[in-house]
Amino acid sequence: MKAKILIVLIGIIIITACNKDKYTDAPQISLKSVNTTVLYPNNVLTFDITVTDKQGDVQDTIWVQKITANCSLSDFTQSYPVPYFNPTKNFKGVFELSYAYGIGTNYPPIKEPSCFRQNDTCVFKFWMKDLANHQSDTITTPTIILIHR
């Protein structure tokens, strides 16, 4: 009888642990998708980033950093304010960030490769801060190649 009770209690603990709330005070981000890993001139590069937050107060800042393997002249770090929206507790959403390469649009531009007339091999890093000053971890994209004109 004691063995049955022990097994039931262990089962309840395992079920409770598996259903533990996955949302945290600090925003959590992950890369959902990137539309291409080879970017040609006159195209747009789009990142979809999944964001979760326990309080839902993610309307502060997101940072983007471009790090180039072969030419740091075209690197950048830029912060963007997150537009206000009606927050909900246990928020989960997808933020879309887009950059224009060689075309005039409403998207921020990505500079053409700056060194030796060669392609840029780079990664992008993202992190964010919520209204309570909690900062997320940093995520890194797969390698992206910007084709020189």
pLDDT tens per residue across span 55-76: 999 999 999 999 998 888 889 9
User: What range defines the domain where residue 113 resides?
Assistant: 22-146
Confidence tier at 87 by pLDDT (50, 70, 90) = confident
Q: What is the mean pLDDT of residues 114-118?
A: 78
Residue 1 lies in a domain: no
pTM given for the model: 0.82
Residue 14 lies in a domain: no
Q: Greater confidence, 72 or 95?
A: 95
Confidence tier at 19 by pLDDT (50, 70, 90) = very low
Q: Of 11, 8, 3, 26, nearest to 138 (Cα)?
A: 26
58 contact partners, CB below 8 Å, separation of at least 6: 27, 51, 82, 87, 91, 128, 130, 131
- If one counts the domains in the chain, the total is 1
